[in-house]
Amino acid sequence: MACLLYTGYEEKIRPYIDLIDSLRELGLDKDLPLPSIAVIGDQSSGKSSVLEMLSEVSLPRGTGIVTRCPLELKLKKGEKGLPWEGQLRYRDSSVTLNSPHEVEKEIKIAQEHLAGITGISSELISLQVESSCAPNLTMIDLPGIIRVPIGDQPQDIGSTIKNLINSYIRKEETIILVVIPCNVDIATTEALKMAQEADPKGERTLGVLTKPDLVDYDTEKEILKIINNQMVPLKKGYMLIKCRGQHDLLANTSLASALEKETEFFNKNIHFRPLLDKKMASFQHLSTRLTSELVVQIRKCLPGIHEKIGSKINEITKQFNEMGGTIPEDTKARVHILTSKILNYCDELTNLAMGDYKKKYSSEVKLHHFAREKFAEWYKKLDGAKIKLDEGAMNMVKHHEKHSKGRELPGFTNYRVFEAIIRDQIQELLEPSLEMMNEFSAKVETVCNTLALLHFSGLPVLVNEIQAKIAELCHKMESEAEQMIRTNFKMEGMVFAPDEMYSYRLMKFQSLSQQMGRSSLRNPNLDVQTMVVHLQTYYEIAIDRLIQMVPMVLRYYLLQELSAQMKVELAQLLFHSKDVDALLHEDDDTAAKRRALKVSLDWLTKARTLLMSY
């Protein structure tokens, strides 16, 4: 067999093509576009013929849509003397081929499998050919563009094909090989239009003109204009090639002799012959050109690929870890993982309760921030609060004056009246403190639940178990806190302050009032005036206690005690739980997602290792 090509082969370039092939094999192009050569053309433009001549493999031919799935042609130059070897892969199938003649039949079977008898599928069929005559090249053959559906083809087949083609050629990494027959008006070719839309600057499009032997007499000059970039300019330009014509096919002309005939044709044609010297015509030059274009493209894309793989690995690792990493099969390891998950959760709760934000917590979770805000509101509400001399209080003072006052001079107020008024007013703060406690406890419960979901995501049994404990404990701590707050309010009912403190505050209050000339205190009734002074003095002392007491109770019970008791509860859960398996039961979705993440992570890591060696 006469070998076409192979000046283009260099030891140095094969590894680059191999690398991208391996990355594609790993499934990387689903997430990261990889450099490739996509071959597009209108129907009957000569696409299959071009690929055949490059690969020296007979591809399915015929009228109508023959290529119905993207076909990846991986051509590898094998050692001289070694036999031809082929491998066809699609979905989960892998077929070994021993001769180029088997290719056509097997591709047809594969296409029927993936796309039915007449349909189009975007699933890739991959054909790897290793032969001493093959160039080092990977190309993707795409279905030919058709304008009108015929026979029982679906009405939207044209747009389905265009979408499929676009999905390849739109990627910046793709080199577009547009096959255009010389014997049609270049302006009317749909493929070139599509290439121009996908690559408006024509930077990654290479035009391949076929059928130069079919142009009308003396129109070669027109073809030369195209090739010389005078019609539709492309940065990569055009190349001219001659494939097997219908006549050659009927005469069973071999691919090898078709190559010889091509050289002969160009040599004989005075218009086209100079193109041979300029390496702008013939399969020989096309194949060399494509290989080097592909390698240049790969080199250009490698840093980007490296970077994208790195960030993809980070992203997936994060998701994977968030899902709790791997759940092992072995019982001992399972107990270990359960224990460590629970301990981690406890640590996290302790950190939050202590306000020890070593990790980057979201503001939602920062309990002390929430507490600080609530306590500030509480302070604002209480600080500077004035005793309210409402009607009830005034009536009490007046009632005493009228009915119980004896020989006392004005200003000598009744202590019991004072106590009664102050008790009432302080008790009014009980409800707001309990409200704050409820809000606080609800927040703590939410945060604990959120953290449990994060720590034990995908383990619904464990999450339920822990959330039940959280609810129980929050409830318990809340009632203890409530008890404590109520007791404190009861104690406030006793009306107490150290004498020295009271005297000091009273004098300070009186002198301040005088300085500021507080009009509210200047009641014409001296009894009322004196009562107000005492009430306000004492009220401020009591309020100072409450400003501190309620937040301290909440912090103690709902943060410190809760996290401490949660630890005990969870330790008990571990000790008493005989059924580790039940606790570690994963829901199906999570198990599947975890497996999928693991697979992605494995192949990305492989891809990175592979890239590192370049």
Contact flag: residue 458 with ligand GDP (CB under 6 A): no
From the list Mg ion, ligand GDP, none, partner contacted by residue 324 (C-beta under 5 to 8 A by kind): none
Closer of 127 and 393 to ligand GDP (Cβ): 127
Q: Rounded CA gap, 170 and 102, in Å? A: 33
Q: How far is the CB of 183 from ligand GDP (least distance, A)?
A: 9
Q: Is 99 exposed, middle or buried (0-12, 13-18, 19+ CB in 10 A)?
A: exposed
* 61: contact with ligand GDP by CB under 6 A: yes
Which CB sits closer to Mg ion, 61 or 278?
Answer: 61
Give the one entry of Mg ion, ligand GDP, none that residue 243 binds, where binding means its C-beta sits below a cut-off of 5 to 8 angstroms depending on kind: ligand GDP
User: With binding defined as CB under 6 A, does residue 184 bind ligand GDP?
Assistant: no
Whether 291 and 135 have beta carbons less than 8 Å apart is answered as yes
Q: Which stretch binds Mg ion (CB under 5 A): 44-52, 189-197, 319-327, 464-472?
A: 44-52
Nearer to ligand GDP, 140 or 305 (CB): 140
Three-state DSSP at 373 gives helix
Cβ atoms of residues 333 and 604 within 8 Å: no
202 binds, among Mg ion, ligand GDP, none (CB under 5 to 8 A by kind): none
> What are the backbone dihedrals phi and psi of residue 29, each rounded to the nearest 5 degrees, phi first?
-70, -5
Nearer to ligand GDP, 77 or 242 (CB): 242
Identify the residue among 48, 121, 131, 488 touching ligand GDP (CB under 6 A).
48
Kindly state whether residue 269 participates in binding ligand GDP, applying the rule CB under 6 A.
no
Q: Please, what is the minimum distance in Å from the beta carbon of residue 248 to Mg ion?
A: 16
Bridge-based pairing state of the strands 71-77 and 205-210: unpaired
> Min. distance of Cβ 64 from Mg ion in angstroms?
10
251 Rama class: left (phi>0) / alpha (psi -120 to 50) / beta: alpha
Residue 242 binds which entry of ligand GDP, Mg ion, none, with Cβ cut-offs from 5 to 8 Å by kind? ligand GDP
Pick one of 8, 33, 46, 143: the residue that binds ligand GDP (CB under 6 A).
46
Site string for ligand GDP, 214-233 (x = CB under 6 A): x-------------------
Binding footprint of Mg ion, residue count (CB under 5 A): 3
143 binds ligand GDP (CB under 6 A): no
Q: Which residue is nearest to Mg ion (CB)?
A: 48
- On the CB side of 466, CA atoms within 13 Å amount to 33
Q: To 5 degrees, how large is the angle CA 248–CA 250–CA 253?
A: 40
Is residue 48 part of the contact set for Mg ion (CB under 5 A)?
yes
- Which region among 42-50, 106-114, 344-352, 407-415 touches ligand GDP (by CB under 6 A)? 42-50
Coil vs helix vs strand at 231: coil
- The runs of H, that is alpha helices, within 242-366 are 246-250, 255-268, 273-277, 283-322, 331-354
Taking CB under 6 A as the binding criterion, the range among 43-51, 165-173, 353-361, 402-410 that sits at the site for ligand GDP is 43-51
508 is in the binding site of which of Mg ion, ligand GDP, none (Cβ under 5 to 8 A by kind)? none
Q: Rule CB under 5 A: which of 265-304 touch Mg ion?
A: none
Strands 71-77 and 137-141, sheet pairing: antiparallel
Indicate whether 45 belongs to the interface with Mg ion (CB under 5 A): no
Residue 332 sits at φ, ψ, to 5 deg, of -60, -45
DSSP 94-151: EEEESSTHHHHHHHHHHHHHHHTTT------EEEEEEETT--SEEEEE-PPB-SS--T
What is the smallest separation between the CB atom of 248 and ligand GDP, expressed in angstroms? 7
Bridge partner list, 207: 178, 238
Q: Which residue has the tokens 């630890």?
A: 567
Considering only 17, 20, 51, 66, the residue that binds Mg ion (CB under 5 A) is 66
Which does residue 249 touch among ligand GDP, Mg ion, none (CB within 5 to 8 A, set by kind)?
ligand GDP
* Minimum CB distance to ligand GDP, residue 12 (Å): 32
CA gap 104, 389 in Å, rounded: 102
Give the shortest CB-77-to-ligand GDP separation in angstroms. 24
CB of 214 to ligand GDP, least distance (A): 5
Which tokens belong to 610?
Answer: 């592979």
Q: How far is the CB of 121 from Mg ion (least distance, A)?
A: 16
Q: How many whole angstroms separate alpha carbon 394 and alpha carbon 388?
A: 10
Structure tokens at 109: 């079977």
Residue nearest to ligand GDP (CB): 245
Of 211 and 374, CB closest to ligand GDP: 211
Residues 52, 196 contacting (CB under 8 angstroms): no
The bridge status of strand 85-90 relative to strand 93-97 is: antiparallel
Residue 307 CB, shortest distance to ligand GDP, in Å, is: 37
Q: Which of 243, 365, 477, 484 binds ligand GDP (CB under 6 A)?
A: 243
Strand order in the sheet with 238-240: 93-97, 85-90, 125-131, 71-77, 137-141, 36-41, 174-181, 205-210, 238-240
Q: For residue 485, which of 564, 429, 404 has the smallest C-alpha distance?
A: 429
Amino acid found at 266: F
By C-beta, is 71 or 298 nearer to Mg ion? 71
Residue 288 touching ligand GDP (CB under 6 A): no
C-beta closer to ligand GDP: residue 290 or 327: 290
User: For 96, phi and psi rounded to 5 degrees?
Assistant: -90, 135
Using CB under 6 A as the binding rule, whether residue 244 contacts ligand GDP is answered as yes
The footprint of Mg ion (CB under 5 A) covers: 47-48, 66
**Interface contacts to ligand GDP, rule CB under 6 A:** 41, 43-49, 61, 144, 210-211, 213-214, 242-246, 249
